[in-house]
Amino acid sequence: MKDNPLRIFGLFNRERFLANMNQTIFGIAAIVTFIAAWWGFSIYLNLAYVPSPDRVVWAFFTSFEKTEISLGTNMWGNILASLQRFGIGFVFALALALPVGLIMGFIKTADSFFKPLVELFRPIPPVAWVPIFLLIFGIFWGPVMVIFLGVFFPLLSNVIFGVKSVDQPLIDAARTMGANRITLFKKVIFPYTIPFIMTGITIGLGIGWMCIVAAEMIGAVGGGVGFYIFYSESIGRYEFMYAGMAVIAILGIGTVGVSHYVENKLNRRMGVK
Amino acid sequence: MNKKTTIAAIIVVAIVVIAAVAVVLMQPAASTNKKIIYWTQIAPVQQKAALLAGTVDGAVGWEPYCSDALNDGTGSVVVWSDQVWPEHPCCVIAVRYSDAFPNNPADNQLVARVVKANMVATNWIVQTINAGSGTNYTSLIQMGAQFSGIQASVVQSALGHIEYSNQLTPAVKAAFANFTGMFADLGQISNLAGYPNTTAFANAITNTSYLAMAPDIQPSATILGSVHLGYLNGDLHQFARVVAMNTSLWGGKTLFQDYGVNVTSPAPYANGGAVMDGFAAGSIDMGYLGCPPAILKRINANIQIQIVSLVNSEGSAIIGKTPINSLSQLEGKIVATPGPASIQHLLLLYYCNLNGYQLKLKGT
């Protein structure tokens, strides 16, 4: 078979193009089918809480333009508030889960000590902590701590798993070449764990966005997208509620997408893919 | 890190920074010509704990949670709702109109009988509170404590701040119109469900025909039908329902059964908005709820309800964390409210405006 000239330079891959085209066509078809079904249901049901897609699109753009008098801000302000507490919660989780996970995975005594605590608290859904965190940490740090928990445990589990997954021949080889414990950790264990850390971050980000809505519904400073959803529902403006949900979806897709991108880059760079 | 990755990272960071700056710049400039009081949303049942924890400096809620915070000194009264709006309506009974209910004279009889039972229970409560002692009074306090999960002494205090009455008087309708106007001013409603003004809307949302039928209704020896009735969790404003459901007071059956209606209820609702959602979902035929969520969701969600009886008036308060006992002491501080759709939030907003304060969501 004669190669396409563009393929020689790595610019065109017919198989990949066709595969992607199929995927794109199916993706578009799924979205169109969903919107058509939604539109049909909204007309058939004729209920305020099942607004048509065009009403939600209108509410989506209106929410960015119009300042909600009761809340004193528009959707931009709510996004900023959510991103702020999400960012802080995420950084805290990363800062704690990373060292604890590496230590638990690397040192058996630490694993034995921390494991019962981790297993005790991990099954508790982060949202179950919302009311008590609100009282203990207040209306700013309470939701932040819920996000922290949502990100912390998946990240921790992945880091521990990553450390424990290091191939024994690699460790043996490093030791044979005279690596001490610190060098072994720096040169073998930690680099090997990075893809697992990225997987943990991606999972944690997804769970973090789920937590933020629940946390902000109970109480929050400066609004937030979750708060906006709850507020819109409480006054019966359902199209704005769906607009808020769409914003959460976009933010979630965006952050997880960035995380996936970084994860793929790192994996390629480290020879995992 | 190779060159491409570095460029990609710089672009991502730049986009984030630009977006953050844009968001900050797009925020409306803070008003400086008004004194500000901040609000945040916390359910009344959690407000005392929030005051104790220092999460908030004040709260506006309903009974018995106001008295609960006041009795042990956690809070001090800033103002009772009746001092701001004398005899203002609060909770009501609403009926949802659908193809299924009430669409015939028999169903209308059922609604009237529920209204009648509520009226009898209300009269019993008023007489018992006025008596101030005796077996019935002890039973009333115990029922209140059991229903709300609050100490009997707190229930006793709380009952002194709630006016139990049922009539939908012109003053009550005027208050509904006033609340509707306030929601319009806040931008929470953008129309009046097709009515030309708030007075016309308030007249349309109230239906006094069942109250008019009630005096002629007598107890029934047989059960004439069933009604699914919604109510709020632990709200002593809706005490008449609790009393009407008590079997020991009414000869081994509920007061609703005495009037021929078998009342069933789903789990108690958290707030009036949820009761309206119960109407929309077809889970309930009738419900006890605050008038503001009834008004808001009648307009915004087009839930076809009518208010058929008043349940209580007054019974809310703005309180400060002791020693705060005035609005001026709350300047720059945070007050917890049940949320913008509640009458308590409207009370705080109105009282702030009356005294030259701007009410602002904390952090915006």
Rounded average pLDDT over B239-262: 95
Selected for mutation to probe chain B from A139, A145, A194, A232 (highest B CB count within 10 Å) is A139
The residue with greater pLDDT, A236 or A134, is A236
Q: Does B15 score more than 70 pLDDT?
A: no
User: How many Cα atoms within 13 Å fall on the side-chain side of residue B329?
Assistant: 16
In the prediction, which pLDDT does A140 show?
83
In the prediction, which pLDDT does B31 show?
45
Q: Does A155 score more than 80 pLDDT?
A: yes
Selected for mutation to probe chain A from B55, B345, B350 (highest A CB count within 10 Å) is B55
Measured between beta carbons, the chain A residues lying within 8 angstroms of B186 are 69-70
Q: Does A21 score more than 90 pLDDT?
A: no
Q: Does A10 score more than 80 pLDDT?
A: no
A258 interfacial to chain B (CB closer than 8 Å): yes
Amino acid type, B160: G
In the prediction, which pLDDT does B25 show?
42
Six-digit token pair at A162?
Answer: 């990553």
Selected for mutation to probe chain A from B4, B349, B362 (highest A CB count within 10 Å) is B362
Mean pLDDT of chain A: 87
Rounded average pLDDT over A239-262: 91
Six-digit token pair at B278?
Answer: 């119960």
- Residue recorded with tokens 């850390």: A197
Residue B286: other Cβ atoms inside 10 A: 28
SS3 content of chain A, % helix, strand, coil (to 5): 80, 0, 20
- B187 and A71 within 8 Å at the Cβ level: the answer is no
% chain A with pLDDT above 70: 93
% chain A with pLDDT above 90: 44
pLDDT band at B29 (very low <50, low <70, confident <90, very high): very low
Residue A135: other Cβ atoms inside 10 A: 18
A237 interfacial to chain B (CB closer than 8 Å): yes
Q: Using an 8 Å Cβ cutoff, are A250 and A258 in contact?
A: no
- Distance of residue A237 Cα from the nearest chain B Cα, in angstroms: 6
- B273 and A73 within 8 Å at the Cβ level: the answer is no
Q: Does B190 score more than 90 pLDDT?
A: no
Rounded CA Rg of chain A: 23
Terminal CA-to-CA distance of chain B, rounded, Å?
A: 40
Domain residue spans of chain A: 1-46, 51-269
Rounded average pLDDT over B269-290: 92
Rounded average pLDDT over B71-80: 96
Closest CA to A81 of B40, B56, B333, B150: B40
- A49 and B301 within 8 Å at the Cβ level: the answer is yes
pLDDT band at A157 (very low <50, low <70, confident <90, very high): very high
Q: Does B219 score more than 70 pLDDT?
A: yes
Amino acid type, A12: F
DSSP state of A8: H
The residue with greater pLDDT, A71 or B14, is A71
Selected for mutation to probe chain B from A70, A230, A233 (highest B CB count within 10 Å) is A70
* C-alpha A193, offset from chain centre: 19
pLDDT band at A22 (very low <50, low <70, confident <90, very high): confident
A63 interfacial to chain B (CB closer than 8 Å): no
Q: Does B86 score more than 60 pLDDT?
A: yes
In the prediction, which pLDDT does B98 show?
79
CA B12 – CA B227 distance, rounded (Å): 59
* C-alpha B242, offset from chain centre: 17
The chain A residue lying nearest B295, using CA atoms, is A235
Min mean pLDDT across A92-101, A222-231, B57-66 is at A222-231
The domain over range A51-269 is classified in CATH as 1.10.3720.10:
yes
pLDDT band at B26 (very low <50, low <70, confident <90, very high): very low
Measured between beta carbons, the chain B residues lying within 8 angstroms of A237 are 188, 300
Six-digit token pair at A5?
Answer: 């000239």
Closest CA to B76 of B54, B59, B100, B93: B59
Six-digit token pair at B220?
Answer: 């029934």
CA B321 – CA B323 distance, rounded (Å): 6
Six-digit token pair at A106?
Answer: 């690397």
- A134 and B50 within 8 Å at the Cβ level: the answer is yes
A257 interfacial to chain B (CB closer than 8 Å): no
DSSP state of B29: P
Q: Does A46 score more than 90 pLDDT?
A: no
Q: Which string of DSSP letters, residue by residue, matches B235-266?
A: -GGGHHHHHHH-SGGGTTS-HHHHTTEEEE--
- B273 and A234 within 8 Å at the Cβ level: the answer is yes
Note the ipTM here. 0.78
The residue with greater pLDDT, A257 or A14, is A257
The residues, ordered by sequence, that sit 6+ positions from A194 with a Cβ below 8 Å of its Cβ are A162, A266, A270
Q: Does B234 score more than 90 pLDDT?
A: no
- Among A123-132, A213-222, A256-265, B251-260, top mean pLDDT goes to B251-260
In the prediction, which pLDDT does A267 show?
77
Measured between beta carbons, the chain B residues lying within 8 angstroms of A68 are 187
CA B228 – CA B224 distance, rounded (Å): 14
Q: Does B30 score more than 70 pLDDT?
A: no
CA B356 – CA A64 distance, rounded (Å): 29
Residues composing chain B: 364
Six-digit token pair at B86?
Answer: 């004398």
CA B260 – CA B253 distance, rounded (Å): 11
Amino acid type, B161: H
For A109, the 3-state DSSP assignment is helix
% chain B with pLDDT above 70: 90
Q: Does A225 score more than 60 pLDDT?
A: yes
Rounded average pLDDT over B109-129: 97
B163 phi, psi to nearest 5 deg: -100, 115
CA B89 – CA B230 distance, rounded (Å): 19
In the prediction, which pLDDT does B16 show?
57
Mean pLDDT of chain B: 89
Q: Does B32 score more than 70 pLDDT?
A: no
A270 interfacial to chain B (CB closer than 8 Å): no
Closest CA to A244 of A225, A260, A262, A231: A225
Exposed / middle / buried, residue A64 (Cβ in 10 Å: 0-12, 13-18, 19+): middle
What is the pTM assigned to this prediction?
0.80
- Distance of residue B10 Cα from the nearest chain A Cα, in angstroms: 13
CA B107 – CA B34 distance, rounded (Å): 53
Q: Which H or E run contains B93?
A: strand B91-96
* The dihedral sign for the CA sequence B98, B119, B274, A234: positive
Q: Does A112 score more than 90 pLDDT?
A: yes
Asked, as a colleague might, if the bond just before B64 is cis with ω within 30 of 0, I would say yes
Terminal CA-to-CA distance of chain A, rounded, Å?
A: 28
Rounded average pLDDT over B59-79: 95
Q: Does A115 score more than 70 pLDDT?
A: yes
Q: Which H or E run contains A102?
A: helix A75-106
Q: Does B39 score more than 50 pLDDT?
A: yes
